[in-house]
Structure 1
Amino acid sequence: MEDVKAYIESGVLELYVLGDLTPDERLEVERMALKYPAVKAEIAEIEKSMEMYAQEHAIEPSENLKDKIVNSTLVNLGDDRIFTKQRKHTDEIAYEDDNVITMPKRTQFYKYAFAASVALLLISIYGLVNLYSQLQESNTQLAVLQADKTKFANQVNLKDEQLKLYLDTNYHIVRLKGLPKTPSASMVLAWNPSTQKVMVDMNAMKLPKHDAEHQYQLWALVKGKPVDMGIFDNATVDSAIVKEMKNVASAQGFAVTLEPKGGSINPTLNQMVVIGQF
């Protein structure tokens, strides 16, 4: 009896009920069940317990989904209810497995329970993927809104800086006008003699567009001589509203010329586009 008890507790009977044994292993279990009533009773108890567990935890899928999964599952699983193949023999020839018992047919419920579990798993995966996609979309929208908010805040700050520039009495406002060859060109800058700062109003700048090989260069007119104040490009949508140039201690006026990219040591006078004096 100790061997029978150990056999029952080995877990092979649970695998037998689940259908996870090889044909030879299944045949061995059936022989043990024929020989030992305790083994047969244990098999029946396991089947009963598993059926009760499946009934308690089963989730009924939709009819349409259930039909599709069950039809596919039944084709692949096959019919495993018959344990031995019937053999023909005469009275003179006896086969060893003639006395093998036929176990009770298993209910179709196992297959439906399995199909329901698969359906629940697929539905859960679909739900998780859909939720993840919605979360990613929400994060993207939030990032766009945050970027717009930051851009708007920067624009407000720059507008405030521009307004303060014009309201600050320490700054001298210089309006540069176009020459005969550039009559529509204009630019506004502010110069603070105390701090020596020179600020160009990019928002009010109206200069002809230049190619990628050239840039505009600002010059301060100091005692009749041009002094380099730095280079800049045409204003764009993303350009700062106010651009700070090089400092200058004193100036009688300012001018802008079109120079090769990177600027020049001396201004190209025939490329002058705007000029303004105090």
Structure 2
Amino acid sequence: MDIEKYIASGILELYVAGLLSEKENSEVHGYAMQFPEIKAEIEAIENAVLAVSKTVSPGLDADNFEQITSRMGKVVDMRPKTPARKSAWPSYLGWAASLLLAVGLVWIYLENNQLKSEIEVISSEKESLEERMIDIRNEVANTEEILNELRDQNVAVVALGGQTVSPESYAKAYWNKEAQKVYIDAQGLPEPPPGYAYQVWSLKLDPLTPTSIGLLDDFANNDKRLFELPNPNESEAFGITLEPEGGSETPTLEQLYTLGAVAS
């Protein structure tokens, strides 16, 4: 049984108001004895009804009844002695008023619960939006920081053109020799197949000496395709090869995707 759904259905409010059939009353009573959550909710509704009832009570003093009866004793009874037939309408009207009050209280209770639920949803959405705004601010700040580094006058921009295995591929290396790091813009590289990763090499050309400076990890989840790698080497060129995950000791030249020389 879905207790929360049962509580939210409104049947407990009708139970407290006395608007259910005998069979339905027995069913609700049985559930209340079986599930503490339902019993607690019934008690909460009853308390709410009592609280509202107190607010609309006339609030007479305790000795008002005695004052009224003493005054009535001084009034001469001018009515005929024959007993008059008592009308049942006051009783009916009293029951009708009680029923309307109970229905009104149930409606107020349901509306209050609905309002609470809507407030909780709005609060949750507000928190989610605030978190997203914080993430966006952080992303913007990080992007601005990277752009400032790329625009540094000490940064050498190296275009890496496509090679035999993938002529349409391209990339760019932004090398800051003083900071000993390089940014690789890999927007022009296809996503590597499962089990493989791109590896970046710093090259000395004479004689040809490759030195690995790192992998382009988590390529698929990097939307900007911008990677920062350390490079303490005296690089004369940069190349990117496709290697098994974890990288290789030496570049697989048959899988050389891009290559570019540093301008002298």
TM-score for both structures, normalised by structure 2: 0.58
* 2:260 counterpart of 1:276: yes
Structure 1's 132 and 222: CA in aligned 2 closer, same or farther, altered over 3 A? farther
Distance 1:268 1:220 in 2: 14
Show the 5 A alignment for 1:168-179. Answer: 168-179=152-163
Q: Aligned residues: percent identity?
A: 25
Distance 1:117 1:222 in 2: 91
Distance 2:221 2:242 in 1: 21
Provide the residue aligned with 1:257 in structure 2: 241
Rg comparison, structure with higher value: 1
The letter of the residue matching 2:196 is H
Given that 1:215 and 1:263 are in contact with CA atoms closer than 8 Å, whether structure 2 keeps it comes out as yes
TM-aligned CA deviation for residue 179 of structure 1:
0.6
Show the 5 A alignment for 1:203-214. Answer: 205-214=187-196
Given that 1:217 and 1:231 are in contact with CA atoms closer than 8 Å, whether structure 2 keeps it comes out as yes
RMSD (Å) for aligned C-alpha atoms: 3.0
TM-aligned CA deviation for residue 144 of structure 1:
4.1
The letter of the residue matching 1:160 is E
Given that 1:178 and 1:184 are in contact with CA atoms closer than 8 Å, whether structure 2 keeps it comes out as yes
TM-aligned CA deviation for residue 147 of structure 1:
4.0
Aligned residues: 179
The letter of the residue matching 1:170 is N
The letter of the residue matching 2:242 is L
Show the 5 A alignment for 1:1-278. Answer: 57=57, 107-202=91-186, 205-222=187-204, 224-233=208-217, 239=223, 242-278=226-262
TM-score for both structures, normalised by structure 1: 0.55
The letter of the residue matching 1:124 is I
Secondary structure, aligned partner of 2:138: helix
Distance 1:233 1:57 in 2: 73
Structure 1's 273 and 239: CA in aligned 2 closer, same or farther, altered over 3 A? same
Secondary structure, aligned partner of 2:166: coil
Unpaired runs of 5+ residues, structure 1, are 1-52, 59-102
The letter of the residue matching 2:193 is D
1:224-263 CA deviation, whole Å, 9 max, x = no partner? 2111111115755753564211332311111111111121
Considering fraction of residues, name the structure with more strand: 2
